[in-house]
Homo-oligomer: A and B are copies of this chain.
Amino acid sequence: MKIEQNNIQEVNSKTLKSHNEQFDFLSNSLTSKGLNVKDLVKKLQDFQVAVPSWALGAGGTRFGRFSFYGEPSSLEQKIQDIGVIHSLTQTAGAVSLHIPWDIPSDYNAIKDIASGLNIKFDAVNSNTFQDQKNAKESYKYGSLSNINKAVRDQAIQHNLDVINIGDKLGSKSLTVWLADGSCFPGQNNFQTALQNTENSLKEIYKGLPNDWSMLIEYKPYEPNFYSTVIQDWGTSFMLANACGDKAYTLVDLGHHLPNSNIEQIVSILMLKGKLGGFHFNDSKYGDDDLTVGSIKPYALFLIFNELVYGIQNNPQNPDLAWMIDASHNVKDPLEDLIQSLEAIQEAYAKALLVDQNALKIAQQENDVVKCQEILQDAYRTDVRPLLAKARLDIGGALNPIQAYRDLGVRNQLIKERGKHTVSTGL
């Protein structure tokens, strides 16, 4: 399944006139406020988000999983799915592999498929939260933090193997999400677990190629329900500092305690040059892994406001690895991802509209009302014509969800793959 350019153009042609009117009106309005619309469009086109290889099938909870028809059953098919999304949105130009679920059998073949779809290999992800068949040691009581050196060594070696796989594909970063922790008070010695983790990460860091970075994710709870070794940004930051210049903190939007101010965390990390990557999703209760922007779109905008500020003002911080990390329990995974990509671009576009100079002045004058007005003015603007324009100019769909449906993509996938395929992943 591959979407052809002319098919997209055909779908676009139905709403092109209306789009042009809306874009022109918005463009004039923004220009009159002093904004460079051409530059805005360019920035949106340059913003590419990776799709993880485990997010193309139906997701589930501990209570079960309802499958979806036409799921990809091989890495090739997964990359083709991303190709579909990328054709329509022009925003999903990368895949983030999960090892061992998606080890390529033929590296060159996979690289050819990906490059044919303009898809790059972003961060690779290790898995030490599940036992693999025939593994010698079990991660039931932890991996990099395990009290038992043999288990730690196995987990370290797995991460080194993941780096090796990524290296062959052109990846430049390793994401370490560590589920390690404890379910009951007393189960772990906090200090020992942290020290073991630090030492293990340093071992992995030693194996990192010079042009790679290591991204250390944090999460307060789940799958462990009393403590998690890397439970917050403070611990991740401390570990990244201990490892070295190529180690960074990775922020996943769902990995925070209730009411956390995530945008502040983002801002501090960029100031310190230690924000390395970002996992997008949305949530109401915990790590709900919902579609980006479906629950708290204003919070997403505030986060992007800090990201835009940091990109402009913090040269000490590297380019970030952007990725969606959502679970698709009740939606077609591809439609869900398209909605997430739209929400990300929307938040980014609105953040780009913020009048940073006026905001700075209002802040200096403690004009709190004005500060709010400035942010809300940007947020309340309907930027959809801008997003559509950015896609249109480089071959994407004016309305990706509509195009996906008009082109009958899912039915085509079911025809090709059958109904009851099952994708690897959670």
Which A residues are within 8 Å of any B CB, using their own CB? 22, 25, 29, 59-64, 66, 129-131, 138-141, 147, 179, 182-192, 194-195, 220-223, 225-227, 231-235, 237-238, 257-261, 263-264, 267-268, 270-272, 283-286, 288-291, 294-299, 302, 305-306, 309, 313-314, 329-332, 335-336, 339, 346, 359-360, 362-364, 366, 368-369, 371-375, 379-382, 384, 401, 426
Tell me which of A271, A369, A371 has the highest count of chain B C-beta atoms within 10 A of its own C-beta: A369
Cβ B231 vs Cβ A264 within 8 A: yes
* Protomer copies: 4
Cβ A184 vs Cβ B231 within 8 A: no
Cβ B130 vs Cβ A64 within 8 A: yes
Cβ A295 vs Cβ B298 within 8 A: yes
- Bound-state Cα–Cα, A67 to B374, Å: 25
Cβ A283 vs Cβ B225 within 8 A: yes
Among B190, B286, B295, B379, contact of A268 (Cβ-Cβ < 8 Å): B190
The 9 closest A-B pairs by CB, nearest first: A234-B234, A186-B371, A225-B288, A190-B267, A61-B223, A66-B140, A382-B382, A257-B257, A64-B130
Q: Which of chain B's residues have a CB closer than 8 A to the CB of A233?
A: 234
Given A285-B220, A380-B382 in contact, is the A184-B290 Cβ separation under 8 Å? yes
- Bound-state Cα–Cα, A289 to B62, Å: 12
A174 to chain B, nearest CB (A): 19
Q: Which of chain B's residues have a CB closer than 8 A to the CB of A147?
A: 363-364, 366
Q: Which of chain B's residues have a CB closer than 8 A to the CB of A330?
A: 140-141, 182-184, 187, 368
Q: Which of chain B's residues have a CB closer than 8 A to the CB of A188?
A: 363
Q: Which of chain B's residues have a CB closer than 8 A to the CB of A184?
A: 290-291, 294, 330-331, 368, 371-372
- Bound-state Cα–Cα, A314 to B189, Å: 13
In the complex, residue of chain B having the shortest beta-carbon distance to the beta carbon of A365: B147
Cβ B62 vs Cβ A339 within 8 A: no
Q: Which of chain B's residues have a CB closer than 8 A to the CB of A141?
A: 330, 366
- Bound-state Cα–Cα, A289 to B223, Å: 12
- Bound-state Cα–Cα, A261 to B314, Å: 32
Among B222, B232, B329, contact of A285 (Cβ-Cβ < 8 Å): B222
In the complex, residue of chain B having the shortest beta-carbon distance to the beta carbon of A138: B66
In the complex, residue of chain B having the shortest beta-carbon distance to the beta carbon of A195: B271
